[in-house]
Structure 1
Amino acid sequence: MDPKAFFKLSYGVYIVSTSADGKNAGCVINTLTQVTAEPARLSIALNKNNETLKLIEISGTFSAVVLSDDVTMDQIKRFGFQSSRDANKFDGIPQGRDGLNNPYPTDGVCARFACRVVSTLDVGTHVIVVGEVIEAEALDMNAPALTYSNYHHKKNGATPPNAPSYQKDAGTVVGYRCKVCGYILESDTLPLDFICPVCGKDASYFEKL
């Protein structure tokens, strides 16, 4: 099997969020897909270890926003490279609240959806969640959506280990990989004071390839 074949699949970049038991959670995904038009339904895939999935299972709802091409890497790092178990990702940022009481970020966003869960499917490491769209709003018709390809090539983004598209095999690369965001430092040595340029974790979070 050639893992490079998967790189030819096209994706967007999105933030999914929810609220339950007085707590907000959200994460970056590349798996938001429209599966039906009537009724309008979207599917997402989340890792079983994801805190956002756990709260979605409690609330039975989720919000999904489409990131625009000019979204900052700081916004992506906030939602993609730390856990909602450890941080309030919505603290201090511009945000809205949908009709299902889920928060969503408003900076770097060109469309949003509010969904009520109608079914789930266990697919091993991840769970596919299908939601019926209750609200849909185009926030910026002139802003192009960020593609997963541009996320990697224009923004030098990394793929977190919890993402469905993450590939563990680093080939013949020699170096160290961040266990949080997947960033690879190509070096024979890892400085003790090294800080990951993507997620900000220190050298203790790196593993030798």
Structure 2
Amino acid sequence: MNPKVMNKLSYGIFVVTAKDGDKDNGCIINTGIQVTTEPNQIAFALNKNNYTHDMIVKTKELNLSILSEKATMATIQNFGFQSGRTADKFVEFPFERSANGITYVAKECNGYISAKVTQTIDLGTHTLFIATVTDGDVLDDSPSATYAYYHAHIKQTSKPEAKKGWICTVCGYIYEGETLPPDFICPICGHPASDFEPLK
């Protein structure tokens, strides 16, 4: 199988946010869809290693910010390349709060959805959340960023020349070393070794 065929699936890029007590956090995901209209429900998957995952499991509430084609790599890095366990992702990032008290991204997004989790499905490395929509708004008319648009226009394509290693084709994480272990899992996005390619 050619693993790159999975990159041909069409889906968006989102920031899912949660709040636990005084702690705000969020992370990048690419798996958010509406699954029913009556009732209005969304589904999304989160890697179990993400701090946001644990917050949503505990509080059962979230916001889903829909990144637009205005999104920059700096926003992807802020929410996708560091852990909320050790970093405050909102300390220098513009945000607003919806009626549920949870943050949503106030720039580079064209809308947000608030929701409450009603079901979870264990997918091994990830949890699939089913949530009922409670609120939401359109922020501007810019087109939503698709996963393909991210790869073509947002993702950094420059790769270090002096290093020997492997780069995650999903998030850009670099593993330094001659050989990538076959059971390696990306610590940023949770994708397997099959989604890595040698640095060139």
Number of equivalent positions? 173
Displacement of 1:156 in angstroms is 2.7
Displacement of 1:182 in angstroms is 3.6
> Which shows bigger deviation, 41-50 or 88-97?
88-97
Displacement of 1:59 in angstroms is 1.2
Q: Is residue 88 from structure 1 mapped to residue 88 from structure 2 by the alignment?
A: yes
TM-score, normalised to structure 1, is 0.76
Change (3 A) 1:123 1:71: same
For the residue of structure 1 that corresponds to 2:112, the secondary structure is strand
Q: Given that residues 68 and 110 in structure 2 are in contact (C-alpha distance below 8 angstroms), is that contact kept between their aligned partners in structure 1?
A: yes
For the residue of structure 1 that corresponds to 2:56, the secondary structure is helix
For the residue of structure 2 that corresponds to 1:149, the secondary structure is helix
Q: Is residue 176 from structure 1 mapped to residue 175 from structure 2 by the alignment?
A: no
Deviations along 1:35-60, whole A, 9 cap, x unmatched?
A: 10111111110001110010011111
Identity of aligned residues (%): 38
List 4+ stretches of structure 1 deviating above 4 A: 184-188
TM-score, normalised to structure 2, is 0.79
Q: Given that residues 62 and 115 in structure 1 are in contact (C-alpha distance below 8 angstroms), is that contact kept between their aligned partners in structure 2?
A: yes
Give the gaps of 5 or more residues in structure 1: 159-173, 189-207
What is the 5 A alignment of 1:24-43?
Answer: 24-43=24-43
For the residue of structure 2 that corresponds to 1:24, the secondary structure is strand
Give the gaps of 5 or more residues in structure 2: 158-162, 179-197
Question: What is the CA–CA distance in structure 2 between the aligned matches of 1:3 and 1:11, rounded to whole Å?
Answer: 17
Question: What is the CA–CA distance in structure 1 between the aligned matches of 2:65 and 2:81, rounded to whole Å?
Answer: 17
Q: Is residue 19 from structure 1 mapped to residue 27 from structure 2 by the alignment?
A: no
Q: Given that residues 66 and 112 in structure 1 are in contact (C-alpha distance below 8 angstroms), is that contact kept between their aligned partners in structure 2?
A: yes
